[in-house]
Homo-oligomer: A and B are copies of this chain.
Amino acid sequence: MTELIRMGKAAKTAARALAAAGPRKNAALLAAAAGLERSREKILAANAQDAADARRDGMPEPLLDRLALSGARLEGMEQGLRSVAAQEDPVGQVIGGSVRPNGLKIEKVRVPFGVIGVIYEARPNVTADAAAICLKAGSAVILRGGKEALRTNAAVVEALRTALEESGLPADCVQLVRDTTHASADAMMRMTGYLDVLIPRGGRNLIRSVVENARVPVIETGWGNCHVYVDASADIGMAANIVFNAKTSRPSVCNAEETLLVHKDIAAAVLPAIKARLDEKHVEIRGCERTRAILGNSVVPASEEDWSTEYLDYILAVKVVDSLDGAIAHIAKYSSGHSEAIVTSDYESARRFVTEVDSAAVYVNASTRFTDGGMFGLGAEIGISTQKLHARGPMGAAELTTTKYIVTGNGQVR
C-alpha cells in the first residue's frame, strides 16, 4: 500500500504544522463550515449518486437512511463544525504538575497525538465530525469511509481541504482513503510509525475486525447492550418513563436500552405500567417466565441469546430478578460495558449499583440515552469508548490528545 504510506508521510508533516496552529484551527473549522455551505449542491449531487447506486445494489432501508444527506443534514454537519470551533482547545492544557525537592519543575501537558486514523461505514456525516474533532485536537486525520459513501465523502473532504488551505493550514491535515477495499482497511491497521491511534466507528463486526487485526493502538468504540434495572423501591411512574425513553427515543443507537431487569417485589406492579408505555411504540417484549406470568403469553419467551443481543430496534428483553445482587450479576455477565441505569428510591441500592456495576457510564434515576459527548458537556464526540484503555465513555477532543512531561531545571543531575 504505497499510496497509504505516502498519505501517512504527508499526514505526519501536516501534523507538525497543526500542532503549533493554536487558534488558527478554529478559523479553519469556521472556514470549513462555510466551505461545506458553498459546496452544498456538489455534495448533495454526489450523495444522490451514491444513494442511487446503493439502492440499485439492494442496500436495506435503514442503511439507505443513514447514507442519505439532505439540506437539513448538511446544515447539521456545518453546525457541528462551528460548535467544535467554539469548544475549548485541549492542546496545551496543563493537567498536573509539581516542583520536586531538588527544584525540578514538572508539568504534565496535553499535546496532540499526531496522526489519527478513522475507519467507518456508510454515514457521511462522520466524515465532517471526525475531521473536525481531530483537527481541534491538533492531529491530522486519515479517513476511510465505506465504499457506498465514497463520492459523498470525497466531496466533503474536498470542501474541508480547500478551507484548510484558505486558512493557511496544510490540506493534508484531512485526507480520504479512496481505496475502499478490505485491503486498505487492513493496511491502515498495520501503519505502525504513521498512525498514532486508529478508531473504528461502526457495527460490531467492523470493530471486532479492527481490534483483532490492528498492530497500531486502537480505541474500540461502542456497541451497547445497555440495561435498566428497576429496583424494588422504584417510583413506578419514573420507572416506566425512563424505560420508555431509553428504549424508544432512538432505538438504533448504542446507548439505547436492550434489556430491562425488574426486582421480583415490584414486578407485578411495574411491568404492566411499563408495557402500557411500550405499547405506544409497538415494542416487542421478549420476557423470562416470570415476566410472561405477569404480562401474559402474548409476550415472546426470551432465549439465552436475547440477554446478549443488541437489537437496535423496537424490541426489549425483560427479566425478573430476585435482588439487586441478581441484577448486578446479570449485567456483569451480559453487558457490553456501555451504559446501565438503576431506578430506585433506596440510597444503598443506588450506592451499590454505581459502585459495583463496571460500565463506562452508570446512572441512577436517569435514561441511558444521555451517554453522549454533547449531553456530557464534552462538545462533539468521535465515538463512545467501551474499552478501558485511554478513554472510556464519550470521547471529545480532549480524549483525542496525549500528554507529555515538560521538566525544567537549572542543572540538576541524578
Contacts and interface: CB of A to CB of B under 8 A. Distances in A.
A356 interface: yes
A377 interface: yes
A217 B358 contact: no
Contact of A392 (B356, B376, B403, B406): B403
B370 A104 contact: yes
Nearest to A409: B366
B413 A358 contact: no
Contacts of A119: none
Contacts of A403: 392-393
B197 A409 contact: no
B411 A238 contact: yes
A162 to B, nearest CB: 28
Contacts of A113: 388
Interface in A368-406: 369-371, 375-377, 387-390, 392-393, 402-406
B245 A413 contact: yes
A259 interface: no
A393 B388 contact: no
A137 to B, nearest CB: 12
A8 to B, nearest CB: 15
Looking at A217, A359, A413, the one whose CB has the most chain B CB atoms below 10 A away is A413
Contacts of A217: 218, 387-389
Nearest to A217: B389
B405 A362 contact: yes
Contacts of A104: 366, 370, 375
A355 interface: yes
A387 B197 CA distance: 10
Contacts of A387: 217
A301 to B, nearest CB: 28
Interface residues of A, number: 65
Copies in the complex: 2
Given A245-B413, A356-B20, A414-B245, A366 B114 contact: no
A111 B406 CA distance: 27
A241 interface: yes
B390 A390 contact: yes
B404 A363 contact: no
A163 interface: no
A294 interface: no
Residue from A242, A390, A404 having most chain B Cβ neighbours under 10 A: A404
Interface in A181-213: 192, 196-197, 211-212
A369 B414 contact: yes
Nearest to A403: B392
Contact of A405 (B192, B393, B409, B412): B393
A358 to B, nearest CB: 7
> Top 6 closest A-B pairs, CB basis?
A366-B409, A245-B413, A388-B402, A390-B390, A217-B389, A361-B405
26 contacts: A100-B376, A104-B375, A106-B376, A111-B358, A192-B211, A196-B388, A197-B389, A217-B387, A219-B389, A241-B413, A350-B408, A354-B408, A360-B404, A361-B404, A361-B405, A361-B407, A362-B407, A364-B407, A365-B409, A366-B409, A367-B413, A369-B413, A370-B412, A370-B414, A392-B404, A393-B403
